[in-house]
Each structure stands twice: as structure tokens, then as C-alpha cells.
Amino acid sequence: MKKIFLGAPGSGKGTCASKVSPRRNIPHISTGDLFRDNIKNGTEIGDTAKGYMERGELVPDEVVVEMLKERIEEEDCQAGFILDGFPRTIPQAEMLAKITDIDAAINIDVPNEVIIQRLSSRITCKDCGEIFNLRDMRPKEEGICDKCQGEIIRRPDDEPEVIQNRLKTYEEKTAPLIKFYEDRGILKHVSCDQEQPPEEMAQAVLATIEEFSKSLQEEVSGVLGLSDNE
Ligand SMILES: [Zn+2]
């Protein structure tokens, strides 16, 4: 199943995706990781992206989509994947629709006040991008990444005064995607009304996915049943 995880910054969609991915046995593709990997490995598309970044320009959607296209054509994506961090806008969603058919869009719905609380306690590895939390996901060793031993910092993005702006941008640019996927009949909401541990959120997302894939199968067998009766 090809899935998109939608949700405001700090909704926990990245953490959810990384917990759901091994249990559904499909890769978790984060555009942030894709960028880092392509640049690190010096791929052609990575060099192109790096050029824009070094000039302080936004990497054009076409470049991001090309990077994604290469990734989802790989063998491990044939049974599906989870896309996290893309699309963020309607034009990006339209470009994505041209390279692959998404089966489900999971919207992780978390109230703003919970997000603000959560983001202001979030810390990130400077080197590999791994995310920790000062409250419930502290690194084993203070200030040092469990995964790569890199330095852990609070990203400028996660400073409380910047969070409000990020949420506002999300409302304007990304929230319309909810309607986009709703119109296509593939949107599923997972509501988290209060602060929930990541494991509980992941369980809720898994249950929603299982229910949805069951209903899809029933739909398919219903269609087959009809044609049998003709
Ligand atoms: Zn790290």
C-alpha cells in the first residue's frame, strides 16, 4: 500500500511513520533523508539539489519529485511505501499523482497546543537528523545521538516563537491537501486529542491502515462478486 502521512510539523507523523514502516514491511521515505542521502552519496540529482541549497534557493519541486521517482522505483518499494514530508502543497500533490498512485493519505490530527508543547521540547541530531524529545525520548547520553554519536541541538525551527509561524504556514499551504485527498476518497483521520506517547499513536495509525486496507479488499471482492452474477 502506498501511503502518505499528513500532519502539522510536530504532529509526530515522522515518528509514527518510522514505527509503522517495519510492521507493515514497507520503507519509510522521508524527503529530508532522501536529500541527505543523495547529497552524501554525490548522486547527480543530489548535486543538483546541493547547488540550489548552496545558492540559498529553494530546491524546485521538479528536482524533489525526480529524487522521489528514483527512490520509489527501487525494489523495496514495489509492495508500497510511506511518504513523509511530501507533498506539502497542492502543486506537489499533483506532480506526485503523475508518477505514482497513492492508495491512502493518513492525516495525523493533533491540537495546536499539544504541538507547541511537543515541538519546544524537541531536539535533533545535527548529523543524521534523528529526532529526540526532552520529555519522553531523551538520548541515552546527554547531547549525543544514539544512532551516529553526532551532536544533538535544538533546531532554530523548534524555538517556540518560530513554531507559531510554522503552524500558520502549514494551515495555509498543507491543510488544503486534506481536502485534495478527501475528494479522492482516500483520506483517513487519526485524531490524537491529548498528549499520547508515540507508541500509542503508531498503534492508532496501524489500526486505521488495517481497517482501510480491509475495506479496500472488500470493495474489490464486492466488484468481483457482481461480475460473477452477471
Ligand atoms: Zn545522529
Cβ contact 147:127 at 8 Å: no
147 is catalytic: no
- Residues with Cβ within 8 Å of 124's Cβ and at least 6 positions away in sequence, in order, are 130, 131, 132, 152, 153, 154, 155, 158
Candidates 36, 69, 154, 155; catalytic one: 155
Q: Which among 69, 138, 154, 166 is annotated as catalytic?
A: 166
Residue 229 has a pLDDT of: 46
Ligand 1 centroid – CA 31 distance (Å): 17
Catalytic residue list contains 140:
no
- Among residues 160, 130, 164, the alpha carbon closest in space to that of 147 is found at 130
What is the Å distance from ligand 1's center to 122 Cα?
14
Q: What is the mean pLDDT of the chain?
A: 89
Q: What are phi and psi of 61, to 5 degrees?
A: -55, -40
The proportion of the chain whose per-residue pLDDT surpasses 90, expressed as a percent, equals 58
List pLDDT tens digits, range 56-87: 888 999 999 999 999 999 999 999 999 998 99
pLDDT at 228 over 70: no
Checking if the pLDDT of 44 tops 70, the result is yes
Ordered domains of the chain (ranges, CATH): 1-111+174-194 (3.40.50.300)
pLDDT at 225: 61
For residue 156, report the distance from its CA to the centre of ligand 1, in Å. 17
> What is the arithmetic mean of pLDDT over 126-154?
92
Average pLDDT over residues 119-124: 88
Q: How far apart are CA 209 and CA 99, in angstroms?
A: 22
The alpha carbon of 144 and the centre of ligand 1 are apart by a number of angstroms equal to: 8
Q: Is 36 tagged catalytic?
A: no
Q: Are 208 and 106 in contact (CB under 8 A)?
A: yes
Catalytic residue among 36, 50, 69, 88: 88
| 32 CA distance to ligand 1 middle (Å) | 14
Phi, psi at residue 3, to the nearest 5°? -125, 155
| Mean local confidence (pLDDT), 180-203 | 88
The active-site residue out of 2, 19, 71, 122 is 122
Q: With bands split at pLDDT 50, 70 and 90, how would you rate the model's confidence at 226?
A: low
Catalytic-labelled residue, pool 3, 13, 71, 188: 13
Beta bridge mates, 121: none
Q: How far is the CA of 154 from the CAs of 85, 108, 123, in angstroms?
A: 19, 23, 5
CA 183–ligand 1 middle distance (angstroms): 39
Instruction: Assess whether 138 carries a catalytic annotation.
Output: no
What does the block give as the cell for 3?
501511503
Q: Give the separation between CA 202 and CA 196, rounded to whole angstroms.
A: 10
Active site residue 184: no
